[in-house]
Amino acid sequence: MCVLVFIVSAQKENDTLPKAEISTTMQSVNINGKTIYLTAKAGTFQVRDENNEPIALIGHTYYTRDSKNRNNRRPIVFAYNGGPGSSSFWLHMGVLGPKRIVVNDPESTPAAPYRLVNNNFSILDVADLVMIDPVGTGLSIPIGKAEFKDFWGVDQDIRSLALFITQFLIANNRMNSPKYLLGESYGTFRNAGLMNKLLGQGIAMNGVIMVSAVFDLRTLVFPPGDDMSYVVHFPTYAATAWYHDKIADKPEDVYAFLDDVRNFTENEYVPALYKGDQLSDSDKRAIAEKLANYTGTETDYWLKADLRVAASEFYAELLREEGEIVGRLDSRFTGINQDPLSQESSHDPQSSAISPAYIAGFLDYFYGDLRVNKETTYSITAGRRKGFKWDWEHEGNKRWGTQAAINTGIDMAEAMSRDPNMKVLILNGIYDIATVFYGVEYSVNHLGLTKEIKDNIIMKYYEAGHMMYTHQPSLEQFKREVADFILNTSK
């Protein structure tokens, strides 16, 4: 009798949980003159914990190619943006989905009406696609006894997406499909941990695609007494100066110029910083002159900065005389500097230039074309939710005995070493000051991989920024290189 009461009680509890809801529509995309018909399922999927208890509804959009003989061995890509706390509409509407938003790269895009066009550069000709919104973003919410804090952290995030991907593959009969992760920005930090988490649970990825990557947070945060961030940002400062014609006798080839900058950085800049206050005044001035020449700034500026300029300071300094600042996500973009005396920039011109178009365009598509229930609220970012706070502890670092630097690169190295067939494609924008390419190079070069395993990491470069797909030539390059990667690793 007691058991019966428990079962009834549990049933009543489950009946009160919010239910997963899916809108199914027929979509199409024309790629290289060929129309591909798609089934699109947009909405939520119930995720259960390790004890089979419901813990979340995960918002997603799932595109599958329609055919008379449905092939469940067609590649499937799980994709998301970063933040942490960002929903996936940037990648969805920028490059991966059947429709894309057109923006005035690298200028500000005027207000609506925005241009939503067929995406000839979608990857849907080579793979099915699942756009994922982590809990707190999109339509994703905790349910049952779970709370938002159970999902807001490095390891919590990895765990919840591992549960989602595993259960989604089973529910949709895709466990034997070639499988890929594709993340942007923090999504690459997530990728590195998630690929190892899934492998440990018996789910191997054919490939992992990193868009504007970061693995070691030390490369981004400019901590006191640590020169790492200053070093790895410098080549991107130089690339930005090259783009804005601030370099005297500017070389024609930006990549040859960056090779020269790398050589200076490794052989002169790093040793100078390592000496700290033991560097002589004459040597310090000599280094400052070279730093100024490579970045189109003044020697005295670098001397006053003790040879160390943080990213937010460089945004404001490069075009100060023109009354402008450069973009963080993409330094090709410029904006008005309202305070010419400011040490740091007031905003990110790239974000201001494109965000309204992406947000309005996506919501119009999501609730219009995909016919998602308009009574549901799509959260662009978890950062707007009350109490949003990210837990930066990571078990992978604890295994190595330190939390000094949060680094999921060690998880990636472990996964790649245990599965020597796994390939990683890393796409870097040379004008991205948010996640700098030289920081990625440093991280990859310090993973401790054997040569054979390191050869499984493919590095590509784009003459654009963090969201390189806003730049038409880079959009075309993105499609070509990602499609080739999927085709070559899914055979």
State the distance between the two ends of the chain, measured CA to CA, in whole angstroms: 56
Tell me the average pLDDT of the chain.
94
Nearest to residue 396, comparing CAs of 416, 421, 413?
413
CB 210 within 8 A of CB 191: yes
Share of the chain above pLDDT 70, in %: 94
Q: Which two tokens stand for residue 33?
A: 């003159």
For the entire predicted model, the pTM comes to 0.95
Residue 9 has pLDDT above 60, yes or no: no
* Residue 373 CB contacts under 8 Å (≥ 6 apart), including other chains: 21, 23, 43
pLDDT tens column, 409-444: 999 999 999 999 999 999 999 999 999 999 999 999
The residue behind tokens 């899914």 is: 490
CB 92 within 8 A of CB 40: no
* Residue 30 CB contacts under 8 Å (≥ 6 apart), including other chains: 36, 118, 120
Give the span between the Cα atoms of 300 and 55, in whole angstroms.
57
CB 95 within 8 A of CB 56: no
Cβ neighbours, 10 Å, residue 232: 22
Give the span between the Cα atoms of 481 and 205, in whole angstroms.
18
Q: Which two tokens stand for residue 131?
A: 């756009």
Q: Which domains does the chain have, with CATH numbers?
A: 12-218+355-489 (3.40.50.1820), 228-349 (no CATH)
pLDDT tens column, 126-150: 999 999 999 999 999 999 999 999 9
Rg (CA), the chain: 24
pLDDT, position 438: 98
Give the span between the Cα atoms of 381 and 361, in whole angstroms.
16
* Residue 466 CB contacts under 8 Å (≥ 6 apart), including other chains: 184, 185, 212, 329, 330, 350, 429, 432, 434, 435
The residue behind tokens 């997406």 is: 161
On the CB side of 128, CA atoms within 13 Å amount to 25
Local confidence band at 232 (pLDDT 50, 70, 90 cut-offs): very high
Residue 230 has pLDDT above 80, yes or no: yes
Nearest to residue 430, comparing CAs of 311, 258, 269, 263?
258
Burial class of 23 by CB neighbour count within 10 A (0 to 12, 13 to 18, 19+): middle
CB 160 within 8 A of CB 151: yes
pLDDT, position 403: 57
Q: Which two tokens stand for residue 116?
A: 């939503």
The residue behind tokens 């995720």 is: 47
Residue 75 has pLDDT above 90, yes or no: yes
pLDDT tens column, 280-327: 999 999 999 999 999 999 999 999 999 999 999 999 999 999 999 999
**3-state secondary structure labels for all residues of 77-132:** EEEECCCCCECCHHHHHHHHCCEEEECCCCCCCCCCCCEEEECCCCCCCCCEEEEE
